[in-house]
Amino acid sequence: MNFKHFALTTVATFGLLNVMAQKNKTIVVNTSKVTAQVQPEMWGVFFEDINMGADGGIYAELIKNRSFEFYKPLMGWTTQGSKMKEGDFLVLNRQESHANNPRFLRVNSTAAKRGDLGMVNEGFRGIGVKKGLKYDFSVLYRQAAAGVKLHVELIDSTGRVLGSGTLNPETAGNQWTSQSVSFTANETVEKAKFNLWFEGAGKIDLDMISLFPGDTWKNRKGGLRGDMVQMLADMKPGFVRFPGGCIVEGHDLSVRYQWKKTIGPVESRELIVNRWNSEFAHRPAPDYYQTFGLGFYEYFQLSEDIGAAPLPILNCGMACQFNTGEVVPLEDLDPYIQDALDLIEFANGDSNTPWGKVRTDMGHPAPFNLTMLGVGNENWGPQYLERLALFTKAIKSKYPEIKLVNSSGTDPDGERFDLLNTSLRKMKADIIDEHYYRSPEWFLSNANRYDNYDRNGSKVFAGEYAAQSVAIAKPTNKNNWECAISEAAFLTGLERNAGVVHMASYAPLFAQADGWQWTPDMIWVDNLNIYGTPNYYVQKLYSLNKGTDVVSILGDNKIISGQDSIYASAVIDRKTNEVIIKVINASSVEKSRNVVVKGAKKLAANGTLTLLQNQNLKAENSFENAINISPKEQPLAVKGNNVSLSLAPYSFSVVRIGMK
């Protein structure tokens, strides 16, 4: 026998042995061995106004700097017109009498016709316009004598008019008045602009110059972008965490998130700078502000709309420790604690309570059923523990039923984490918020992170997680399949340990293609389009297949967490009477497994297999190929209590089988 023949024979023999060995591999699911309950809230979403997620994103306002409150009052606006002269536009500031919305614009017009005097707004990285869609323009104005007409129009980059309307303001005794006009667009354009032309002689004051598309979520006036909310609703998330994230803390305390300033009439919500405005020198966003058109009332409403539990996170008296790290002296913490108590009343109090009445007056007499509240975002150190103790005492003595979410800092390990995790567990914290922005390898090798956590101690909220293809906050990070499949593998460990891990959410949630600061992100949008990343589909598959009870799933009598690059978890759903098995093959070769389901009297003859798969770990979704990596469902034959699974390379399989 020559060497070549020997080599071929050996390879063939090993190949055969390998196939035989593969054939013999068995996964045993025991549906009568329940190891934990799955919380209804388990798989949720983390919302933060980062990457133009709110203003310029889900908050559907199309006019940037509508009330002239940005640092530069005319940012986003350009004045124009063949008859424009010095003094035609004046920014007035009434700080003393209108602290929340001090500025407005005075226009002195002598314009005889459209084109003589006007302004153009560039929108948030342009304005998305859809053919056939209605656009609703509104404005707050004041004029002593009738005289100035407003022509509003959307235009493309060549100046072609895509839709227009005219508004004849009345005098209304020189009082601030709101008026609106709607018009329909005749073309689809991704980056349009908005023109406001003046016609007639006179002086008119303007504020809150606003344009909304007609297809907002539930057709609410001044509402949210329908397609973005739909993507969330499709996930059936268990909770919505809001409003962040570092935005809760603010760069310094003066620009921390204060929920009371985000409710009531939109024109009275005091705008502040967005803390992501100047965070990254490589992605500057000087025009990034928070108008709070999406405020706490709308966050609660959004959660309710999509059947998710609201999870607000409040500032704990500390600014972002990556920035100034300002802290409120302990003796001055009361107003912060009062904000927390008042928020609970705002959400749950009846209409006879002061804050319950505010909610009722805003249009929601029924409570929002708040059950959880976060104190602090990524805060750490003894300063956090001191402040948290005061919050906890006050909240628990008035509202013992509210579960408090506490921070474990910025990382899932290290000194900050160890101090907080140990102290919070001693304090018997309800829920500890852990964050992991780590490499795909970390996610794979930490799939068993919670296997030995104390079942009777504090619960865990995996509050922010995302595999980073390069490194944390690097602009070159990608939402590629390698990251998503490593997350899928890691999530088997969260599901298996649902008795410890009560909730999980990917972060950040949204990114605007031209306006982002941080990547990777779960859902990407431009002015017209949207797509879910592979990471979105992973989270969605877990959420849609969460079941009610975790059950035993073993290979060679051991939990399946990385042996032979396979990761698995299983649940049953008592409502639909199904067993749901999730298996990840994180290797480049196909693997076969014989799945034996014990515990059920009988299994249905057919199940379904939902497959998320790609051979290329670098593959991504994109605006052009939005569902490149997306779930595909197929029937699956069940023989008795056996299922034969061929696990494709780099695949995430979800099997559902009815039980009798």
DSSP 318: B
Peptide bond before 475: cis, by omega within 30 degrees of 0? no
Q: Which residue has the tokens 């340990």?
A: 497
Give 129-156 as a DSSP string.
E-TT-EEEEEEEEE-SSS--EEEEEEE-
Q: Please, are residues 583 and 593 in contact by the beta-carbon 8 Å criterion?
A: yes
Residue closest to ligand AHR when measured from CB atoms: 245
Q: Which two three-digit tokens encode residue 140?
A: 């707050």
Helix and strand counts by DSSP (H, E) for the chain: 10, 33
Length of the chain: 660
Q: Which residue has the tokens 């975790």?
A: 550
Contacts of 363 (CB under 8 A, 6+ apart): none
DSSP 563: G
SS3 of the chain: helix, strand, coil, percent, to 5: 25, 35, 45
Positive/negative CA dihedral, 235, 241, 242, 247: negative
Q: Which residue has the tokens 């919305």?
A: 101
DSSP 652: E
Kindly state the smallest distance separating residue 435's Cβ from ligand AHR, in Å.
Answer: 6
Catalytic residues: 378
SS3 of residue 116 by DSSP: coil
The span from the CA of 577 to the CA of 518, in Å, is 41
The span from the CA of 295 to the CA of 258, in Å, is 10
In DSSP terms, 646 is beta-bridged to 592
**Helices 334-348 and 296-305, interaxial angle, to 10°?**
40
Residues forming the site for ligand AHR (CB under 6 A): 48, 50, 244-246, 377-378, 464, 507-508, 518
Give 518-548 as a DSSP string.
S---SEEE-SS-EEE-HHHHHHHHHHHT--S
In DSSP terms, 309 is beta-bridged to 239
Distance (Å) of CA 108 to CA 78, 105, 308, 524? 16, 10, 49, 42
